[in-house]
Structure 1
Amino acid sequence: MAAVVFVHGLYHRPEHFALVAERMRAAGTEVLVPELHRGSLPADTAAVQAVVDSLQEPPVVLGHSYGGSVITGLAGAGHLVYLAAFVPDVGESAVGLGGASPELQDAIEPEHDGWTSLHPDRAAETLYGDCPEPLAAWAVGLLRAQAPGCGRGVPGHHGWKRTPSTYVVCGQDRAVHPALQRQMASRCTDAREWQTGHSPFIGRPDLVVELLQLLTANAPRQPNREAPTGH
């Protein structure tokens, strides 16, 4: 069974994937959740690439929201999963594709030196509005400040053009518009739609676990170390 690597979005932490990661590990799957917030898209991508390179077999890599820009730049994944995530093509960024919804933009508050954070109440409604209240409060409590510019980063490599990929549209998403998600899903090998909000790994972890178990069961068993290119 292949390993799974989770890649979180802006303002988030690895701990946001805890509900799904615990279930996957209990079923015997190796799970890795690297910390982003390295200051730029290239730095975030390099951090995840190091994790992928450390594994014996090509992992299933799931990127959420901005995490889609990160996983797009990877080489050596066995399968890419875009969960309400951005799928940039050559020269594109998350912001250029449409970026955050007006609701999420309204939740952003300035910090220092260009850093921003999310207003707790607005974040709860926009990111976790369909989650049970205790879980939504837990998730909001994990949110952290975000360095500027990451969402404007342009991947230098486009793994989804060579690596099998699955896009999951979150049909009740208030943070990334579902219509935009459907457009980006057309770039992937496979697509499906869940009637969830932006964060099903918190509100509906069963859906995420079921999908990942299916993909890891069918993942390639030979190393897949393609060299990054600009395509």
Structure 2
Amino acid sequence: MGSSGKPVVVLLQGAFQLPDVYHKFARLIESHGFPVVQPSYPSLAGQDEPDFTKKTLADDVQVVEAAIRKLVEDENKTVVVAMHSYGGLVGAESVPEDLTLKRRKERGLSGGVAYFFYNAAFVMPKGQSVATAVGDSPNHDHWDGRFKMRDPLTTMYHDMPEDEAKLWADKVVAQSNAIKDTVMTRCAYTYVPSTYVVCTEDRAVPAPVQEMFAHTAGSTVKKIDAGHSAMLSRPETVAHLLEEVLACQDVTQ
């Protein structure tokens, strides 16, 4: 665990990837004194369960909101939510306003969600779903209620050494297609301040699209020359940005 003055980072992963893809980044920021919590999504875990293809974004949100609520209400922790790719949707839907640092301070309570840190992450307004906003991407294969990135090696890991990129590409898994149907209802970026890290070499979510997402969220924008999985290919750079942002915002316990 980190020093008492640093917030807990809730790390929310993207689609098609199991938590171990983010362990390198998580261990790095833990070594800098930030405790890390990384919830596991039902829409990715339990692939052999009979109801796997019924798991939606709402199921992922339920798990993440419970984890954040425990940190804030039971442990009075200050929380920063770091989101990558699909995790941007999960995070924005998982934080009710009563769990924010600002609202809890107004009620004389300690702890709360203080900040959002987006990294090549999706942002959508209320009333939209992945199905209505994006539809079926030509980069995806679909079958039996599941979908998966067709060519992760060149789409998500192209800026990494070839052997390392292949290692992670081989670990890509299918996700429940039902996540696409969940309509956004909360959009916490409207009341949680944020920074958005645009990855300029991203082939999965092009930089202009990321900039549009950042505008929707009202985020402060930072840019790095990296592909889609910068927390894996450029972990030190992303960690430095996270620390820099939090220092400027004076986000402490």
Which residue pairs with 1:81 in the alignment? 117
Rate the CA distance shift 1:186–1:110 in 2: closer, same or farther, 3 A.
closer
Aligned positions of 1:140-155 closer than 5 A: 140-155=169-184
TM-score (norm 2): 0.78
Matched-pair contact (CA < 8 Å) for 1:69–1:94: no
Matched-pair contact (CA < 8 Å) for 1:98–1:180: no
Query: Is 1:25–2:16 an aligned residue pair?
Result: no
2: CA distance between counterparts of 1:88 and 1:173?
Answer: 19
Which residue pairs with 1:228 in the alignment? none
* Runs of 4+, deviation exceeding 6 Å: none
TM-score (norm 1): 0.85
Q: CA deviation at 1:142?
A: 2.3
Q: 1:102-158: CA deviations, max 9, x gaps?
A: 6xx33x3334x2212334xx2110001111223212221321111112134222211
Give 1:18's aligned amino acid: H
Rate the CA distance shift 1:28–1:220 in 2: closer, same or farther, 3 A.
closer
Rate the CA distance shift 1:163–1:24 in 2: closer, same or farther, 3 A.
same
Matched-pair contact (CA < 8 Å) for 2:9–2:80: yes
2: CA distance between counterparts of 1:65 and 1:99?
Answer: 16
Q: 1:24-52: CA deviations, max 9, x gaps?
A: 11222111111113311111111111111
Q: 1:39-78: CA deviations, max 9, x gaps?
A: 1111111111111112132311111111111111122321
1: CA distance between counterparts of 2:177 and 2:212?
Answer: 26
Which residue pairs with 1:3 in the alignment? 8
Give 1:3's aligned amino acid: V
- Structure 1 alignment gaps of length 5 or more: 222-231
Query: Is 1:196–2:226 an aligned residue pair?
Result: yes
- Higher alpha-carbon Rg: 2
Query: Is 1:67–2:103 an aligned residue pair?
Result: no
Q: 1:85-115: CA deviations, max 9, x gaps?
A: 1111111224444468x6xx33x3334x221
Aligned positions of 1:129-168 closer than 5 A: 129-168=158-197
SS in structure 1 at match of 2:232: helix
Equivalent of residue 236 in structure 2, options 191, 194, 206: 206
1: CA distance between counterparts of 2:131 and 2:24?
Answer: 29
2: CA distance between counterparts of 1:162 and 1:180?
Answer: 22
Matched-pair contact (CA < 8 Å) for 1:3–1:216: no
Count how many residue pairs are aligned between Structure 1 and Structure 2.
214
Q: What is the aligned-residue RMSD (CA, Å)?
A: 1.9
Which residue pairs with 2:70 in the alignment? 54
Equivalent of residue 41 in structure 1, options 57, 79, 86: 57
2: CA distance between counterparts of 1:196 and 1:11?
Answer: 19
Q: 1:165-223: CA deviations, max 9, x gaps?
A: 111111111101211111111132311111111010111001111122234442153xx
SS in structure 1 at match of 2:197: strand
